[in-house]
Chain A
Amino acid sequence: MGDILTAKNLNLWYDKTKALKDININIPENSITAFIGPSGCGKSTFLKTLNRMNDLIPNVKITGEVCYKGQDIYGNSVDVNELRRNIGMVFQKPNPFPMSIYDNIAYGPRTHGIKSKVKLDEIVEQSLRDAAIWDEVKDRLKKNALGMSGGQQQRLCIARALAVKPDILLMDEPTSALDPISTLRIEELAIELKKSYTIVIVTHNMQQAVRISDYTAFFLLGELVEFGKTDQLFSQPVDKRTEDYITGRFG
């Protein structure tokens, strides 16, 4: 299994505040990598650097490299829209567009130039199936997506991200607004999806990281303190700070 995403000496400032300090990490393909750490440790900031979501925030300065399949995504020739098609994102709060379930999924492919009804129908069905929500919504594709439950909306957002056939899915606390059943659905979905995609997930729920991730990265005060196999990190952490954080004896 190769590394699909690599950060090299990555630093990030919000104005004068340094939020990421010399991050070096290799994220393996077709696996789930979890980012953990206390609030403000930089894990979400780092996640957003992976598909240049920080471009949208003023006064952000970035040095170092993030390489996707060996190419620096901050290079001059990079098409950011194309990058975000390849590296999709799912947010903490489900954010479906205020339109029908069908149009939510078809939105991305249409933007990328697909007009054929047959082709769109196929993409919508396949994306909804891949996101394990097809059976629940197949009879109401024309209904407004905002009428769905929170858990369904989040799976719809995952389906929407899958519709443009990305390589990588970035998930920023995708279950923190969901009930336990919906949470488990998303977790099982993530495990299913890693066969075809690489998943990077920020989570405050350490048990979730243990349950679903193959690799875990622990961030603290903008530093990547420890990165390794999840089993290893949660049974034999190397760094004292990791040990203190995961055992809840931090601070």
Chain B
Amino acid sequence: MRNRFDEQLAKLNTEMIEMGALCEEAIALASKALTTGDVNLAEKVVPISSDIDHKERDIESHCFKLILQQQPVAKDLRQISAALKMITDMERIGDQAEDIAEIITYLQGKTANETVHIKDMAAETITMVTNSVDAYVKQDISLAKSVIEHDDLVDEYFDRIKFSLIKMISKTPENGEYALDLLMIAKYFERIGDHATNIAEWVIYSVTGNRK
């Protein structure tokens, strides 16, 4: 009975999946550049981040149009308002991947391999982002909840990385700048984890109507 509206909602879903995929691509690229020290790879994050920005604008316009034309209520309203909130977090994820990539270009070929945990932390946050978007697509509350739980793990990684970098600085003070760059990168990953958590919380709202 509301075929046109249902089509528009399906299109919104597709756009969200596409934006989520771009976010995953941006972090994965930044993470790979970090472990390989490949500056060319890092530079490829910039255009993806810009694609993410455009996608955010497109989805915003789409949502505004849906609100104007369809006056959504109940689960439709929740889906559209959750989407509007989620894209803000997704856009931040893109920016932070770009920030990580920028720092990698300062490292002059150095990798993060000496501090093992940063690789694990990157892998963990990528999983969080992938799962948060998946949870949205599948409207899967338990997957969304697992994303929220994983955030503690990422926070722990950050503390451990910070501790090992402090040790690095005291042992080899000439590595001070490098250590601080790595700390910044770890902080950006930690923030990405927070954004994935926000996305997961909006998924739960969209499905259940309950907000933490």
Contacts and interface: CB of A to CB of B under 8 A. Distances in A.
Interface in B74-92: 74-78
B1 A234 contact: no
A247 B72 contact: yes
Interface residues of A, number: 15
A175 B187 CA distance: 58
B71 interface: yes
Given A248-B5, A250-B1, A206 B209 contact: no
Nearest to A243: B74
Given A235-B209, A236-B209, A248 B2 contact: yes
Interface in A209-251: 210, 234-237, 242-243, 246-251
Interface residues of B, number: 12
Nearest to A248: B2
A39 interface: no
Given A235-B77, A235-B209, A207 B71 contact: yes
A55 B77 CA distance: 42
B73 A234 contact: yes
A120 to B, nearest CB: 45
Contacts of B73: 206, 210, 234-235, 246-247
Contacts of A249: 1-2
Contacts of A210: 73
A245 to B, nearest CB: 10
B78 A235 contact: yes
Contact of B74 (A236, A250, A251): A236
Nearest to B5: A248
B206 to A, nearest CB: 11
A247 B75 contact: yes
Contacts of A251: 1
B5 to A, nearest CB: 7
Interface string B1-28: 1100100000000000000000000000
Contacts of B5: 248
Contacts of A248: 1-2, 5
Name the residue among B5, B71, B73, B75 with the largest chain A CB count within 10 angstroms.
Answer: B73
A236 B206 CA distance: 10
Nearest to A234: B73
A100 B78 CA distance: 51
Contact of B76 (A206, A242, A247): A247
Interface string A174-204: 0000000000000000000000000000000
A232 to B, nearest CB: 9
Interface string B148-174: 000000000000000000000000000
A154 B209 CA distance: 39
Contacts of B72: 247
Contacts of A246: 73-74
Contact of A243 (B1, B2, B75): B75
Interface string B50-78: 00000000000000000000011111111
Contacts of B75: 243, 247
A248 B8 CA distance: 14
Contacts of A235: 73-74, 77-78, 209
B74 A237 contact: yes
A234 B78 CA distance: 10
Interface string A43-77: 00000000000000000000000000000000000
Name the residue among B74, B78, B209 with the largest chain A CB count within 10 angstroms.
Answer: B74
A249 B70 CA distance: 13
Nearest to B210: A236
17 contacts: A207-B71, A234-B74, A234-B77, A236-B74, A236-B78, A236-B209, A237-B74, A242-B74, A243-B74, A243-B75, A247-B73, A247-B75, A247-B76, A248-B2, A249-B1, A249-B2, A251-B1
Interface of A: 206-207, 210, 234-237, 242-243, 246-251
Given A235-B74, A243-B75, A247-B2, 6 more contacts: A206-B73, A234-B74, A234-B77, A235-B77, A246-B74, A247-B75
